[in-house]
């Protein structure tokens, strides 16, 4: 056989700590603010929603946060995940580039999301919590938390945006197989749900509403907390196992990335692969270009403003400084539901603002073109979200071809598309549209950002 296509590590090589980029930032993150007082939030403000260990992880400046043994015990079912050299794709593209991808679809739920779901379930269990509430759109996050809940004996209640609940019954079935309760949102189970149903009985729901319902229930009960699948610092922290493993695997290949590509919605899979490399660079290591790929229909990094904003539509969350399209901005519908969020993780926004990463935006049909080309060469069928990273990596590889340069490109293939086949059917039937957002709506949403005067 020729050189390897797959770099595997045994389970003793699962990282022993998560990497915290806050320790290496040239400038600290802006504080999270209380929406009433506009003063920095204290740990107690978050205590009704999260166990203290996670609140501490949200703000810690320690470079290495130890991964508890029970979390590593679960990780080892699918971690270290494989790193692939995409030799057949390289051949198909006739590129001199060396393309590597880290494949997170090997987790039981089929994406990178269990990396944080398992950690969050563990810390909640340790804090005596018996129930977790959360929201889900496309269902990747909901099924991951359902999986983690099953392992730690925690009841999981998932508020699933009603239109997805109706359109994606198989994701729901997966959550139920893991024993979770899946509720279409808006629901009659919460005050916020009932208020919306009173106005419109057949309301299709939104992520913002589902968040409100999940938060409302968690805030009311001592035995119940809330879990979020992206955006927050501790969620990004848990994903850094991805990049740490990739670094060890590229060492096996005697290689180091010139370019790293990840898709960005809330920012967690992107940060997971990129931050360990970015941290090494910030500590004096090799420079690496890092490219965030986002959907053109919801382009928070390329068209949003870096400003304080709410995390939800109903303005129940604290104010965080991030790249945002405005919390009232409604992105048009497209198939990469996991990238359909008005804001961007504060940490990803911050490093973008510092000029440490680049961002590009693509329309979805070009991403599906890339995904199908990838599937035919590499065999793995990517999730619509992951197709954005595939497209970004292919474009970088074609640049190498045009310039006659052999660069090492690393991207995160964050999940498989087995539960997204309707999107592929629409693609093949020519039904996929490249919808653009409404420029006027974006301008209005940005104009409506809360006025926050920042300390110099």
Residues contacting residue 83 through CB under 8 Å, at least 6 positions apart:
6, 7, 100, 101, 102, 103, 245, 246, 249, 250, 253
* 351, two tokens: 């490093």
**Least distance (Å) between residue 428 CB and a second copy:** 6
Question: Of the candidates 17, 34, 88, 305, which one interacts with a second copy according to CB under 8 A?
Answer: 88
Note whether 236 and 272 are within 8 A (CB).
yes
Residue span binding a second copy (CB under 8 A) among the ranges 69-77, 184-192, 390-398, 443-451: 69-77
Neighbours of 378 (CB within 10 A): 21
**Least distance (Å) between residue 151 CB and a second copy:** 7
Under rule CB under 8 A, residue 121 binds a second copy: no
Residue span binding a second copy (CB under 8 A) among the ranges 41-49, 93-101, 301-309, 378-386: 378-386
Rounded-to-integer distance, Cα 427 and Cα 103, Å: 23
Rounded-to-integer distance, Cα 67 and Cα 425, Å: 41
Under rule CB under 8 A, residue 147 binds a second copy: yes
Under rule CB under 8 A, residue 222 binds a second copy: no
**Which residue's CB is nearer to a second copy, number 131 or number 303?**
131
Question: Of the candidates 250, 381, 394, 400, which one interacts with a second copy according to CB under 8 A?
Answer: 381
**Least distance (Å) between residue 152 CB and a second copy:** 11
**Which residue's CB is nearer to a second copy, number 69 or number 222?**
69
**Which residue's CB is nearer to a second copy, number 376 or number 405?**
376
- Distances in Å between the Cα of 195 and the Cα atoms of 31, 164, 165, 198, 269 are 32, 20, 20, 5, 35
Under rule CB under 8 A, residue 422 binds a second copy: yes
Torsion over CA: 320, 326, 330, 334 (sign): negative
Under rule CB under 8 A, residue 167 binds a second copy: no
**Which residue's CB is nearer to a second copy, number 72 or number 321?**
72
Rounded-to-integer distance, Cα 393 and Cα 389, Å: 6
Please give the order of strands across the beta sheet that includes 131-136.
Answer: 181-185, 155-161, 131-136, 224-226
Neighbours of 177 (CB within 10 A): 12
**Which residue's CB is nearer to a second copy, number 138 or number 381?**
381
Query: Angle at Cα 99 formed by Cα 276 and Cα 257, nearest 5°?
Result: 30
Concatenated DSSP letters of 335-352: S-GGG--SB--HHHHHHH
**Least distance (Å) between residue 162 CB and a second copy:** 18
What mask, x for binding a second copy by CB under 8 A, covers residues 245 to 264? --------------------
Residue span binding a second copy (CB under 8 A) among the ranges 23-31, 107-115, 159-167, 196-204: 107-115
Helices (H), 101-229: 114-126, 140-152, 162-167, 169-177, 191-199, 207-220
Closest CA to 58 of 27, 26, 32: 32
**Least distance (Å) between residue 325 CB and a second copy:** 32
What mask, x for binding a second copy by CB under 8 A, covers residues 176 to 205? xxxx--------------------------
3-state secondary structure of 131: strand
Question: Of the candidates 378, 388, 394, 449, which one interacts with a second copy according to CB under 8 A?
Answer: 378
**Site for a second copy, residues 317 to 376, rule: CB under 8 A:** 372, 375-376
Residue span binding a second copy (CB under 8 A) among the ranges 170-178, 221-229, 234-242, 272-280: 170-178
3-state secondary structure of 15: coil
* 288, two tokens: 């690496």
Binding residues vs a second copy (CB under 8 A): 1-2, 4-6, 8, 10-12, 69, 72-73, 76-77, 84, 88, 106-110, 147, 150-151, 169-170, 173-174, 176-179, 372, 375-381, 416, 418-419, 421-422, 424-425, 428
């Amino acid at each position: 056989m020729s050189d390897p296509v797959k770099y595997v590590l045994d389970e003793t090589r699962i990282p022993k700590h998560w990497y915290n980029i806050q320790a290496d930032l040239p400038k600290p993150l802006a504080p999270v603010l209380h929406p009433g007082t506009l003063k920095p939030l204290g740990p107690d403000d978050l205590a009704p929603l999260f166990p203290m260990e996670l609140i501490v992880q949200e703000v810690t400046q320690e470079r290495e946060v130890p991964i508890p043994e029970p979390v590593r015990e679960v990780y080892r079912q699918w971690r270290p995940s494989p790193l692939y050299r995409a030799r057949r794709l390289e051949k198909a593209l006739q590129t001199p580039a060396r393309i590597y991808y880290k494949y997170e679809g090997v987790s039981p739920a089929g994406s990178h999301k269990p990396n944080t779901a398992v950690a969050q379930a563990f810390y909640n269990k340790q804090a005596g919590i018996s129930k977790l509430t959360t929201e889900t759109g496309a269902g990747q996050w909901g099924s991951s938390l359902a999986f983690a809940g099953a392992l730690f004996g925690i009841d999981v209640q998932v508020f699933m945006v009603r239109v997805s609940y109706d359109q994606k019954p198989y994701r729901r079935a997966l959550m139920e197989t893991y024993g979770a309760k899946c509720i279409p949102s808006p629901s009659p189970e919460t005050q916020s749900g009932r208020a919306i149903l009173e106005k419109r009985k057949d309301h299709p729901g939104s992520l913002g509403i589902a968040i409100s319902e999940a938060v409302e229930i968690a805030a009311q009960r001592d035995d119940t907390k809330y879990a979020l699948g992206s955006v927050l610092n501790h969620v990004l922290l848990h994903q850094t196992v991805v990049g740490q493993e990739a670094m060890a695997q590229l060492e096996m290949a005697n290689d180091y990335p010139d370019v790293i590509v990840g898709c960005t919605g809330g920012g967690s899979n992107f940060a997971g692969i990129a931050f360990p490399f970015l941290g090494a660079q910030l500590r004096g290591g090799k420079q690496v270009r890092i490219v965030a790929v986002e959907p053109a229909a919801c382009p928070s990094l390329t068209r949003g403003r870096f400003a304080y904003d709410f995390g939800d539509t109903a303005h129940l969350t604290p104010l965080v400084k991030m790249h945002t399209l405005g919390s009232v901005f409604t992105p048009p519908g497209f198939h990469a539901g996991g990238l359909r969020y008005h804001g961007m993780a504060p940490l990803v926004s911050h490093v973008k603002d510092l000029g440490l990463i680049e961002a590009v935006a693509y329309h979805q049909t070009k991403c599906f073109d890339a995904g199908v080309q990838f599937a035919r060469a590499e065999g793995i069928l990517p999730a619509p979200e992951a197709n954005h990273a595939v497209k970004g990596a292919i474009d970088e590889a074609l640049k190498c071809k045009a310039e006659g340069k052999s660069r090492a490109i690393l991207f995160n293939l964050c999940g498989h598309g087995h539960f997204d086949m309707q999107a592929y059917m629409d693609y093949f039937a020519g039904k996929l549209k490249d919808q653009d957002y409404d420029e006027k709506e974006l301008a209005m949403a940005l104009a409506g950002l809360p006025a926050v005067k920042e300390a110099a």
